[in-house]
Structure 1
Amino acid sequence: MTAPDTRATVGDITRCLDLAYPPELAESWDSVGLVCGDPNERAAKVLFAVDATAAVVDEALDWGADLLVAHHPLLLRGVDRVGTDTPKGALIHRLIRGGCALFTAHTNADSADPGVSDALAAALGLRIEGPLAAQSQRSLDKWVVFIPGDDVRAVTNAMFAAGAGQIGDYSECGWSVTGTGQFRPGDAANPAIGSVGELERVTEDRYEMVVPRSRRAQVLAALRSAHPYEEPAFDVYELAEMPAPTGLGRIGRLAEPEPLSVFTQRVGISLPATAWGVRAAGDPDRMIERVAVCGGAGDSFLSLVAKLGVDAYVTADLRHHPADEHLRSGGPALIDVAHWASEFPWCDQAKAVVDREFATAAVETRVSDRRTDPWTLAHG
């Protein structure tokens, strides 16, 4: 008997990463997913990095990696050629010639649960409370459909197939109660039940289910196609949008309060060293317990963190004037770290996703130790 083939392909790995970091969470301007490579090729070695720089590509090819997973997109803004006479084009050609695919999980990994900021919070020893800027759950409708008892299964199955009844990891979700419906067909009607001009009473099920708002047309077509009535009776209610566990940044809490000076040391010890270093703004003796974090550039959230009752905000790429205005307005203490360092913990998180899924598939994984932070020197 031949043993089953447990080898993983590039497509297997990228599908696993898409489940962990759904592409639909990416910002509209972003570019995520498989950049180059054949999804059907075997993936025995996978390298994880924040950036696909020349040094990281060298490491991937020297190690014999079949797939390089990067956080930052190599190709993003207005790319219309990848000739080898361009720096990025040269890297693409080197990867293809070396048989190494490239995959990117960027703002979808930022907003995923868990995602980039969860990894940063975990590195700092924070217990997560929720997102800093929560996304709304997908827009949903509640459909209420009235169906004769004998036709309930056919109608609901058609609606389920069109996208209705999905709640989290559960499908074909619904609720029903039996009652009596009545109608009187008009002269131009062609009733499936009853006669023209005669009042008809029918035992019907009132069936309720949720439907993504984006699937309205498909579910309505399925309902009309499967329902026995010429004019099915139904109601559609728009549900209030609720905050989701996904979104940018995270809010967390330390096990015990500590002064800003000590917390700043904690951040410096917990993240990889860079020329940028770790800078703090605020009273060194201020006690820190509740903390907001955002991997990557996070100064767009300064006004938000000022309203959330946190003691400190850890992020990257803070600028002088926004930080100064924030502190003058009484906002929480600020800890500014290198962009690359704030996102580096995600590499171990993404590696663990693949390790768990492909534990028996002979997939070797590794995080690049190349520091891809562009700053190389510091003085004073």
Structure 2
Amino acid sequence: MIGRQPGTAIIAFSLGQFAYSSVLATLYIFNSIRETRSKPYDITFPRGVWKEGDSTSKVYFSKKTTHLAGSIWLQTIFKHCLTEGDKFLISLLLPIADQGVYAVVVNYGSLIARLVFLPIEEALRNFFSKLLSPPVNRDNLKLSVTVISTLLRIYIYLSIFAVAFGPMVSSYVLQFLVSRTWLDTDAPVVLATYACYIPFLAINGALESFVQSVAAPADIKRQSSALLAFSLSFAAAAYVFMRPLGRGAQGLVLANMFNMAQRIGWCIMWIEEYYSRIRNTPNAAAAVREKKGDNESENSLTKIVYFDKPWGWLLLACPRSIVFGMVAGLAPTVWILGQVSTFKGLLQHVFLAVLLLLSILFAEKELILEYVQKYKAKTKAEEVAKKK
């Protein structure tokens, strides 16, 4: 209501954000107090524990946990500043018209990342931090490889759809999201480029969730140093794309893709190093190389043999060759059809997307059947347990 008055829209938006965060924080605190009433601890006042071998003094905060929490908190602040760096660059290097185009594209283009990928990332942080907390056993290691590899493969399939069809349908979709006047600007081109940027966001989010869940404080510091170096290279790339090459807002999206590619590469190297340490640790390696159970099929995605192979977890994430063949066959047709400008053209692209989806389902039929069988077996076991 305040925003209806001239010049107050930004203040009204800020008050809305403040109200949202206040209610959310209050609900978290209320829920935490309620949940801890029946537990031997509470969050209202810290309780000390006696030092080991010393009954005269208490410890209120674990030094190791406090140090780790501080490192993660500092990295969160640091990453936030790096994330907002593109806003500083566009205000310095782009005219106001290009700034408006970039704002519109980012706000609509990032909806998928905020609504779909962000909740998955938060769930992965919780999952991996519990699953791979020391001591790590064979089953947990196998499950971690299964989850990260399967998720990456799904993201790669989504990336194929985004890169193949996103640039073609972006301008047609944009006219329904905003007014048609934006079609006369660079917004369609920038949105088409942003469609190719979304896969980078998804893959990077999954990989960084794994890293931050199992990394030690020293690894967090290494990552922060790498992020700083990547951000400097991002700023240089953004300047080159926007000024000398004259790509405007599109150049900033390309620079973001370059930055995300570096972060993805660093995470891949770190995860491989993590599994390599496990393979080279005698006790862990012995646990990993246990004989495969009878209930694990030969074509199972979770074959334990991949623990013994360098980059095995990444090989499991690669799509089947039939999918690449289908993409190679459909790509010329997609580009011949060109940009979608009518509803008929949209239906043609949808038909091709359905064909691609069917090829993916056919390529992954063994994996899908495996999970269906496991689900049926689990359901049957639960029914038997209830009868007993």
TM-score (norm 1): 0.22
- Quick check: which one's helix share is greater? 2
Question: Over alpha carbons, which structure has the higher Rg?
Answer: 1
Q: Which has the higher contact order (CA 8 A, sep 6+)?
A: 1
- Quick check: which one's strand share is greater? 1
TM-score (norm 2): 0.22
